[in-house]
Amino acid sequence: MKFINEDFLLENPFAVKLYHDYAEHQPIIDYHCHLNPKEIRDDISWDNITKVWLYGDHYKWRTMRSNGIAEEFCTGSRSDREKFQKFAETMPYLLRNPMYHWSHLELARYFGIDDVLLSGDTAEEVWNRTSEVLTGGLSARKLMTDSKVVASCTTDDPIDSLEHHKALAEEGFAVKILPTWRPDKAMAVDKDFWNDYLNRLSEVSDISIDSYPSLIEALRLRHQYFHDAGCRLSDHGLDTVYASPFTDQEITAIFDRARAGGAVTPEEADKFKTAMMLEFGRMDAEKGWTKQLHIGALRSNNSRLFKQLGPDTGFDSIDDQNFARPLAAYLDLLDREDKLPKTIIYNLNPRDNEVIATMLGNFQDGSVAGKIQMGSGWWFLDQKDGMERQMEALSQLGLFRRFVGMLTDSRSFLSYTRHEYFRRILCNVLGKDMEQGLIPLDFDLVGAMVEDISFRNANSYFGF
């Protein structure tokens, strides 16, 4: 039997029926990704598998380094063919790693290669067969439309022009390419780049940022600019959650000192970030946006290679900070003002699944079904075990059927198979429950749940 076959990951007839009848043909709303909108506008294509598969993919680089492969074959100057060869040689060592599943799913779905397993011995054959497909007309937009993507939300800084999003909308591209507001740099008062960033924000907003109120005014203008361009989600990459008590006078003093080039203490930075996060929450609530909180990454741990390669190159890991109390306090502060937007909370440490799942119910207010969401398995958790554990926690402690489902969180146009992977796992979990009598043997009921989580919930929740 082929490894990637029609019933891959589906362990019984109930799971098979759920997937093929209810999940397989659903469209995709990819509401959080890191695709480059310019590449979509330009409808880029690639002449070899390395360019579409290995460039920028820190997931793959990490596995290659762990297999004893030198950096020159990951991010260095070796040829594309040599880099692909080294990744192919790593594949047999990836059994039980999700990369083995992801890679073979992508080869099967986009290149029709389901009859060989990738290895050093098969690398030449796979290189040639994928090259034929790539040079035969496979492009960024074709990958999106062939994958039945109806909307994709990129991740964008408040100073971005959004020119490519606007151009794609004007030309009527079949997939909605929408921006997402990611204002992390604006609140990084403890970073060396902060003043330079504020200068750039001042230029694009045409506001002299010489006070804290003027900073908020500039950000509000950009928030409206994003809204006018179709943005309906914000996103924050947080080490932890900020909810430190502060006064307006303290925030003014912190801003003035930092803007003049002075240093701020960690405690002052927490206060400033709390104030900013509250402002961002108010902006989102006023516009009816959805706020995303990605919590718990410990980033750029290898200082030597960070200096050499920069961020997002494969040297991040799971953090273990405790954030239950500040998260509750932050959500409560916004809720008191009736300014708590729809919110999706993603944890990176699996120990926090139940923390997040129980936090949701504290702030559901009946205004929107599933207003506060537990995010799908993210980053190190977007694999079979991580997804199943997220599903179990949310099922036991919340309303799993209201879950808005999967996203790619990816820089790759080949990552839409993550949605298929998720849907197969979802159907297998529910199929096994049906087999064991834990949920009714009712395909209308359970199938509707599959359709909701696969597509309909996201379509309703985000209102694209």
pLDDT at 204 over 90: yes
Q: Express each pLDDT in 94-124 by its tens digit.
A: 999 999 999 999 999 999 999 999 999 999 9
Nearest by Cα to 406 from 418, 389, 395: 418
- From CA 71, how far away is CA 23, in angstroms rounded? 40
Neighbouring CB atoms inside 10 A of 179's CB total 25
* Of 433, 428, 371, the residue nearest 396 (C-alpha): 433
Give the list of residues 6+ apart from residue 442 with CB closer than 8 angstroms, or none: none
CB atoms closer than 10 angstroms to residue 9: 19
pLDDT in tens, 231-257: 999 999 999 999 999 999 999 999 999
64 — pLDDT class (breaks 50, 70, 90): very high
**Is residue 464 over pLDDT 90?**
no
Distance, CA of 462 to CA of 464 (rounded, Å):
6
Q: What is the pLDDT of residue 136?
A: 94
DSSP 182-235: --GGGG-TTSTTHHHHHHHHHHHHT----SHHHHHHHHHHHHHHHHHTT--EEE
Per-residue model confidence (pLDDT) at position 290: 98
Name the residue among 26, 57, 60, 52 with its Cα closest to residue 138.
52
- Statement: residue 271 has pLDDT above 90: yes
At 391-420, the pLDDT tens digits run 999 999 999 999 999 999 999 999 999 999
What local confidence, expressed as pLDDT, does residue 312 receive? 86
Does pTM top 0.85 for this prediction? yes
| Integer Cα distance of 390 and 392 in angstroms | 5
Mean pLDDT of 353-377: 97
Residue 191 predicted with pLDDT over 90:
yes
pLDDT in tens, 170-187: 999 999 999 999 999 999
Mean pLDDT rounded to a whole number for the chain:
97
- Averaged over 433-451, what is the pLDDT? 98
Secondary structure of residue 149 in the 3-state scheme: strand
Report, as an integer, the average pLDDT of 34-61.
96
Q: How many CB atoms lie within 10 A of CB 31?
A: 26
Q: Is residue 1 scored above 90 in pLDDT? A: no
Query: What percent of the chain is predicted at pLDDT more than 70?
Result: 100
Is the model more confident about 344 or about 309?
Answer: 344
Ranges of H-type helices in 231-297: 248-259, 266-287
Determine the pLDDT at residue 322.
95
- pLDDT per residue as tens digits for the range 309-342: 988 889 999 999 999 999 999 999 999 999 999 9
Six-digit token string for 453: 């989580």
> Mean pLDDT, to the nearest integer, of 65-69?
98
Predicted local distance difference test score (pLDDT) of residue 287 = 98
User: In which residue are the tokens 């151009």 written?
Assistant: 167
What gap in Å lies between CA 239 and CA 181, rounded to an integer?
18
